[in-house]
């Protein structure tokens, strides 16, 4: 029964994708892009380091992906879900020890110097591998980058590294920075980290702290006729309500990354000239999870974890907390992932009676006050939705006799409490799915991670079988076999519940009608916007 | 709380100043003359006061610095914890960051280093901005001063003017109306007033910009730029100023109601002085003194209020910087901001004291005589 629903849903999603891909060219054909104009965008934070090669995070990409390009970008219809950028093609050897990139020729850095394979080699070995938050994991076995000519870079790995992983890492992890600017002095202290130089369609022009970032058109860009916009301004709007007002007052034309709160979307979608867009974040899925501290005696009992899973009404969460802008989750890989997701996992339907029965079975009967035991619940403060879900979870647990005490912290305090001090029983977390389980979801399950590593398994969970599975998948070269291992991983996680996956969601953009070519790839908000244009 | 203290404040300060001034028969400008004749001794008193206050201020600032440092250290999580929220990272990277930012040293070492650098007038390096803190603060200070100064001027100027208007006839309809109206404004949370102003005047009417301090990359210079900044300041200054308006209004009004009962007012009336003259030159002038005290106290409150208003109106000022510094656990930056704010408050209060020395002959008189 449930399988039928899910396959129908997958089919629907598939046909929606098809529809979208056929609709897209029509839109492009009907209107010829206009050149010129200034696009003003809301920015809610000011990253301290704008170098995406060092800090691979959405906050940094939002601004610097227009300036510094990666080897490839995510795509709705390209081969392997990729579109070429600085690399034209990529080929992995069967032994998993080398990957060959053919690079785009005739590309110039913003300062006029030519882009060559030496820049790629430098970025990979000096920046991604030793310094980048994610690259340190993916490129840990990268030994050398050979550059037989200026347009070829061959990555050499010391240990077999799955080509599928490298491919999936291309859009986020491979920002190429200029060797001639970074080779002198310490890379972390280079002034270009705050005024990036790249090959992208826009050049970094100006930053006024607390006010705005200004990017201007790169007239030497390799893309034909691109970019269309003359300028992009990121206006810093720290208050949650100001993005919506600024859109209405026509002071900005675009608010991405859900800068407009969900509760305002209904109202703002009725304002003439504004549209709400849910596409363009498919590859930036966030997972709403309940992190569990297995050091706690009660929570180490599988029956208790199952009871908690049965106590959560996922549909209610999607409808009430996310106002419908989310999907219920079945396991550690989100449903919208095109490569790894499987629906064939144990599921936990909303059933309070069953949850109560499981707890009775486990030996935690209700006391005179109706409570079985109490625990500390720490919702992550980074999103409104994680805080609201914390409130919901407290009530849901009360219904099965578990008394949850909410502990609200700010971001720094939450990180310290959960991932360093382990001072939690349950925590609500929003980890990101990065398109490959090796660089996302597995870290929440795997054991042996040192204290203090954020968004990782700090709940003391240890399962030798799962650890072995994760280790095996990380060195399996065959794509089909590797995918199958991660499907097995999903089944095992859903069965043993080291954590509980509740929902999956992504961001919403609100834009003026005049902004064209929005949301045309799965990482649109953090892609280069070379084809975005403004209708006069 | 403030409202309760009005009666007390106004009952002790002004009346005792009065008797020497008002009976000077037939000389309308009697009051300034009496003060003028004592100009030189007022100056000495002011200098003595200045010396005494400066010594005291250093201790105040030291307590502020150490206290803030300890408070922020007591907050769970450090700058690295705050940073990795948006990046993630492995154990090696986190260790590297802690080392680079000097967070692997003990609290005492860091406090000692900070104080030592401070002794050399060095505010240190911000971990959030990777820039000298002095530069970061100097960049934002003018904006906050402009915002705070304009808002203080608005609340003091308009507040005392309306206070005089209300206090001219205590108990009248206009008095009741203004008192209740201003109290209602005072009860409104600052961010809410800000949001309402934005929705009405920026979104619906579009008379003023929604936020920021000036138009983005507009290339305006000179008077054009000044006008542009002024246009951007209208809403935040109103939001900040209107809230504190009530304080000055109520204080002025209460002070005047008190003075009306004094004998010299009766005398002035008996002399046949016009009502306007009695209100302005005798009653209002004597009720003004406690407002000056309030001005000093208020300058500190305004800095707090600007945190909220600066966020709502996206004004790049010190208040917002302070909030960001706390969230990022950037201890040296927050210390720098608090230090600069404390210096500001000390300076304003010094000015108030000096003004007092000129206005009230009793202030500092004991030392001058000794």
Side-chain-side CA neighbours of B256 within 13 Å: the count stands at: 28
Q: In Å, how far is A246's CA from the nearest CA of chain B?
A: 6
Interface of B with A in 162-181 (CB under 8 A): none
Tokens in use for B68? Answer: 């803030």
Higher-pLDDT residue of B127, A524: A524
Please state the rounded mean pLDDT for residues A448-473.
93
**Looking at beta carbons, which residues of chain A come within 8 Å of B104?**
none
Higher-pLDDT residue of A28, B102: B102
Query: How long, in residues, is chain B?
Result: 370
Q: In Å, how far is A247's CA from the nearest CA of chain B?
A: 9
The verdict on B138 touching A (C-beta cutoff 8 Å) is no
With CB atoms and an 8 Å threshold, state whether B130 touches A48: yes
What contacts A170, CB < 8 A, 6 or more positions away?
A: A70, A71, A72, A82, A87, A90
Q: Rounded mean pLDDT of chain A?
A: 91
Stretch (H or E) spanning B66: helix B39-74
**Looking at beta carbons, which residues of chain B come within 8 Å of A248?**
203
With CB atoms and an 8 Å threshold, state whether B212 touches A211: yes
pLDDT in tens, A213-257: 999 999 999 999 999 999 999 999 988 788 999 999 999 999 999
Q: Smallest Cα–Cα separation from A360: which of A395, A397, A401, A393? A: A401
Q: DSSP state, A128?
A: I
Tokens in use for B161? Answer: 């003017």
Q: Rounded distance, CA B315 to CA A238, Å?
A: 9
With CB atoms and an 8 Å threshold, state whether A211 touches B216: yes
- Is the pLDDT at A530 greater than 80, yes or no? yes
pLDDT in tens, A120-171: 999 999 999 999 988 988 999 999 999 999 999 999 999 999 999 999 999 9
Give per-residue burial for A37-68: e unless 16+ CB within 10 Å, then b.
bebbbbbbebbbbbbbbbbbbbbbbbbbbbbb
Give the alpha-carbon dihedral of A208, A211, A216, A222, to 10 degrees.
100
Q: Which residue ranges in chain B fall short of pLDDT 70?
A: 1-42, 305, 360-370
Nearest CA in chain B to A252: B210
With CB atoms and an 8 Å threshold, state whether B87 touches A133: yes
Tokens in use for B48? Answer: 């003595």
Inter-axis angle of helices A302-311 and A384-398, to 10 degrees? Answer: 110
Stretch (H or E) spanning A90: strand A87-92
Do the strands A327-328 and A515-516 form a parallel or antiparallel pair, or are they unpaired?
unpaired
With CB atoms and an 8 Å threshold, state whether B82 touches A415: yes
**Looking at beta carbons, which residues of chain A come within 8 Å of B139?**
209
Nearest CA in chain B to A248: B203
Amino acid A394: pLDDT: 97
Nearest CA in chain A to B212: A211
Alpha-carbon separation of residue B253 from A103, B176, B295 (angstroms): 78, 11, 16
Interface of A with B in 8-47 (CB under 8 A): 40, 45, 47
**Looking at beta carbons, which residues of chain A come within 8 Å of B210?**
242, 245-246, 249, 251
With CB atoms and an 8 Å threshold, state whether B90 touches A208: no
Do the strands A38-43 and A231-236 form a parallel or antiparallel pair, or are they unpaired?
parallel
Q: Rounded distance, CA B62 to CA B115, Å?
A: 9
Q: Smallest Cα–Cα separation from B309: which of B215, B226, B213, B218? A: B213
DSSP-based three-state secondary structure for A275? strand
**Looking at beta carbons, which residues of chain A come within 8 Å of B88?**
57, 133-134, 454-455
Q: Rounded distance, CA B284 to CA B163, Å?
A: 9
What contacts B231, CB < 8 A, 6 or more positions away?
A: B208, B209
Amino acid B364: pLDDT: 59
Q: Rounded distance, CA A336 to CA B173, Å?
A: 67
Q: Smallest Cα–Cα separation from A306: which of A502, A504, A503, A496? A: A496
Q: Smallest Cα–Cα separation from A67: which of A205, A161, A182? A: A205
Amino acid B362: pLDDT: 63
With CB atoms and an 8 Å threshold, state whether A416 touches B212: no
To 5 degrees, how large is the angle CA B243–CA B246–CA B248? 115
Interface of A with B in 405-434 (CB under 8 A): 409-417, 420-421
**Looking at beta carbons, which residues of chain B come within 8 Å of A57?**
86-88
- pLDDT tier at A299 (50, 70, 90 boundaries)? very high
Question: Is A303 within 8 Å of A348 (Cβ atoms)?
Answer: no
**Looking at beta carbons, which residues of chain A come within 8 Å of B76?**
409, 412-413, 416-417, 421
- For testing the chain B interface, which of A239, A244, A255 should be mutated: the one with the most B CBs within 10 Å? A239
Please state the rounded mean pLDDT for residues A473-502.
95
Which segments of A97-241 does DSSP mark as H helices, in order? 117-122, 129-131, 135-138, 163-173, 179-182
Q: Rounded distance, CA A90 to CA A97, Å?
A: 14
For B270, other C-beta atoms within 10 Å of its C-beta total 8
At residue B96, what are phi and psi to the nearest 5 degrees? -60, -45
With CB atoms and an 8 Å threshold, state whether B211 touches A246: yes
DSSP letters, B270-288, are HTT--HHHIIIIIIIHHHS
Question: Is B240 within 8 Å of B315 (Cβ atoms)?
Answer: no
- For testing the chain A interface, which of B80, B90, B232 should be mutated: the one with the most A CBs within 10 Å? B90
With CB atoms and an 8 Å threshold, state whether B89 touches A453: yes
DSSP-based three-state secondary structure for B82? helix
Side-chain-side CA neighbours of B136 within 13 Å: the count stands at: 28
Q: How far is CA A463 from the centre of its chain?
A: 26
Do the strands A426-429 and B131-132 form a parallel or antiparallel pair, or are they unpaired?
unpaired
* Nearest CB partner across the interface for A412, out of B81, B136, B206: B81
Omega cis (within 30) before A227: yes
Long-range CB contacts for residues B223-232, cutoff 8 Å, separation at least 24: B229/B146, B232/B208
Nearest CA in chain A to B76: A413
pLDDT in tens, A73-108: 999 998 889 999 999 999 999 999 999 999 999 999
Q: Smallest Cα–Cα separation from A392: which of A525, A502, A287, A267? A: A502
Alpha-carbon separation of residue A109 from A119, A147, A217, A343 (angstroms): 10, 19, 13, 46
Q: Smallest Cα–Cα separation from B215: which of A215, A196, A273, A214? A: A214
- For testing the chain A interface, which of B212, B310, B320 should be mutated: the one with the most A CBs within 10 Å? B212
Question: Is A342 within 8 Å of A490 (Cβ atoms)?
Answer: yes
With CB atoms and an 8 Å threshold, state whether A245 touches B202: yes
For A21, other C-beta atoms within 10 Å of its C-beta total 11
Q: Rounded distance, CA B156 to CA B162, Å?
A: 10
Q: Rounded distance, CA B80 to CA B330, Å?
A: 9
* Nearest CB partner across the interface for B320, out of A49, A210, A231: A210
**R_g over Cα of chain B:** 25
pLDDT in tens, A342-398: 999 999 999 999 999 999 999 999 999 999 999 999 999 999 999 999 999 999 999
Question: Is B97 within 8 Å of B80 (Cβ atoms)?
Answer: yes
Q: Rounded distance, CA A392 to CA B42, Å?
A: 66
The verdict on B219 touching A (C-beta cutoff 8 Å) is no
With CB atoms and an 8 Å threshold, state whether B311 touches A239: yes
Interface of B with A in 182-211 (CB under 8 A): 195, 198-199, 202-203, 206, 209-211
* Nearest CB partner across the interface for A412, out of B199, B320, B329: B329
Omega cis (within 30) before B167: no
**Could you tell me if residue A112 is left (phi over 0), alpha (psi between -120 and 50 degrees) or otherwise beta?**
left
With CB atoms and an 8 Å threshold, state whether B81 touches A416: yes
Question: Is A39 within 8 Å of A231 (Cβ atoms)?
Answer: yes
Q: Smallest Cα–Cα separation from B83: which of A256, A188, A129, A67? A: A188
């Amino acid at each position: 029964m449930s399988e039928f629903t899910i396959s129908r849903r997958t089919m629907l999603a598939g046909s929606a994708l098809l529809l979208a891909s056929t609709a897209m060219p029509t839109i492009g054909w009907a209107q010829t892009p206009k050149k010129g104009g200034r696009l003003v965008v809301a920015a809610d934070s000011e990253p301290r380091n704008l170098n995406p090669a060092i800090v691979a995070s959405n906050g940094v990409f939002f601004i610097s992906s227009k300036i510094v390009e990666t080897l490839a970008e995510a795509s709705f219809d390209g081969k392997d879900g990729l579109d070429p950028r600085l690399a034209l093609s990529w080929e992995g050897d069967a032994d998993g020890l080398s990957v060959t990139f053919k690079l785009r020729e005739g590309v110039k850095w913003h300062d006029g110097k030519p882009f060559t394979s030496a820049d790629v080699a430098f970025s990979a070995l000096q920046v991604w591998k030793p310094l980048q938050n994610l690259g340190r994991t993916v490129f840990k076995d990268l030994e050398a980058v050979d550059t037989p000519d200026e347009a070829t870079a061959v990555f050499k790995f010391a240990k077999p590294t799955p080509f599928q992983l490298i491919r999936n890492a291309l859009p986020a992890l491979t920002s190429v920075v200029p060797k001639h600017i970074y080779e002198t002095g310490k890379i972390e202290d280079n002034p270009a980290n705050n005024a990036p130089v790249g090959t992208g369609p826009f050049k970094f022009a100006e930053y006024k702290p607390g006010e705005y970032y200004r990017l201007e058109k790169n007239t030497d860009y390799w893309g034909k006729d691109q970019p269309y916009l003359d300028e992009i301004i990121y206006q810093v709007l720290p208050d949650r309500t100001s993005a919506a007002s600024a859109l209405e007052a026509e002071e900005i034309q675009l608010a991405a990354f859900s800068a407009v709160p969900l509760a305002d979307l209904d109202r703002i979608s009725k304002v003439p000239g504004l549209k709400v867009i849910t596409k363009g974040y498919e590859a930036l899925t966030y997972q709403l999870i309940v992190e569990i501290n297995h050091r706690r005696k009660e929570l180490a009992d599988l029956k208790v974890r199952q009871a908690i899973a049965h106590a959560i009404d996922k549909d209610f969460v999607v409808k009430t907390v996310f106002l419908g802008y989310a999907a219920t989750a079945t396991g550690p890989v989100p449903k919208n992932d095109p490569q790894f997701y499987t629906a064939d996992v144990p599921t936990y339907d909303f059933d309070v009676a069953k949850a109560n029965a499981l707890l009775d079975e486990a030996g935690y009967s209700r006391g005179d006050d109706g409570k079985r035991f109490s625990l500390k619940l720490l919702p992550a403060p980074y999103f409104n939705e994680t805080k609201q879900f914390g409130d919901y979870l407290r009530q849901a647990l009360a219904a099965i006799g578990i008394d949850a005490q909410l502990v609200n912290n700010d971001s720094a305090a939450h990180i310290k409490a959960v991932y360093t001090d382990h001072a939690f029983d349950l925590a609500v977390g929003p980890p990101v799915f990065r398109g490959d389980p090796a660089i996302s979801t597995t870290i929440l399950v795997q054991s042996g991670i040192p204290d203090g590593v954020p968004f990782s398994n700090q709940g003391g969970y240890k399962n030798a079988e799962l650890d072995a599975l994760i280790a095996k998948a990380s060195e399996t070269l065959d794509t089909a076999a590797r995918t199958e291992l991660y499907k097995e991983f999903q089944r095992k996680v859903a069965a043993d519940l080291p954590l509980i996956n509740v929902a999956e969601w992504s961001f919403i953009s609100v834009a003026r009608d005049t902004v064209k070519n929005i949301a045309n790839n799965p990482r649109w908000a953090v892609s280069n916007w070379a084809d975005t244009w403004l209708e006069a | 709380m403030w409202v309760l203290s009005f009666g007390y404040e106004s009952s002790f300060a002004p009346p005792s100043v009065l008797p020497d001034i008002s009976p000077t028969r037939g000389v309308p400008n009697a009051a300034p003359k009496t003060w003028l004749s004592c100009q030189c001794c007022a100056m000495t008193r002011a200098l003595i006061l200045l010396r005494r206050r400066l010594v005291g201020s250093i201790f105040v600032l030291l307590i502020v610095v150490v206290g803030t440092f300890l408070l922020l250290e007591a907050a769970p999580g450090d700058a690295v914890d705050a940073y990795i929220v948006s990046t993630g990272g492995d154990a090696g990277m986190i260790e590297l960051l802690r080392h680079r930012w000097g967070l692997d040293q003990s609290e005492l070492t860091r406090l000692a280093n900070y104080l030592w650098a401070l002794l050399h007038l060095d505010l240190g390096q911000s971990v959030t901005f990777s820039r000298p803190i002095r530069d970061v603060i100097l960049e934002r200070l003018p904006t906050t001063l402009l915002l705070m100064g304009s808002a203080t001027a608005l609340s003091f100027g308009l507040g005392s003017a309306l206070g005089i208007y209300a206090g001219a006839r205590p108990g009248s309809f206009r008095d009741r109306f203004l008192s209740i109206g201003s109290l209602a404004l005072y009860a409104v949370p600052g961010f809410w007033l800000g949001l309402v102003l934005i929705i009405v005047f920026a979104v619906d009417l579009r008379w003023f910009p929604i936020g920021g301090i000036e138009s983005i990359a507009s290339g305006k210079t000179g008077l054009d730029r000044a006008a542009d900044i002024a246009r951007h300041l209208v809403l935040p200054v109103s939001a900040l100023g209107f809230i504190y308006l009530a304080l000055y209004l109520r204080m002025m009004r209460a002070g005047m109601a008190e003075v009306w009962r004094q004998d010299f007012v009766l005398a002035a009336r008996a002399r046949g002085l016009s009502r306007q003259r009695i209100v302005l030159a005798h009653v209002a002038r004597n009720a003004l003194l406690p407002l000056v005290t309030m001005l000093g106290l208020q300058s500190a409150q305004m800095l707090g209020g600007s945190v909220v208003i600066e966020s709502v109106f996206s004004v790049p000022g010190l208040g917002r910087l302070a909030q960001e510094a706390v969230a990022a656990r950037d201890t040296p930056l927050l210390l720098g901001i608090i230090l600069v704010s404390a210096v500001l408050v000390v300076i304003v209060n010094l000015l108030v004291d000096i003004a007092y020395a000129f206005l009230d002959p009793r202030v500092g008189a004991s030392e001058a005589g000794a």
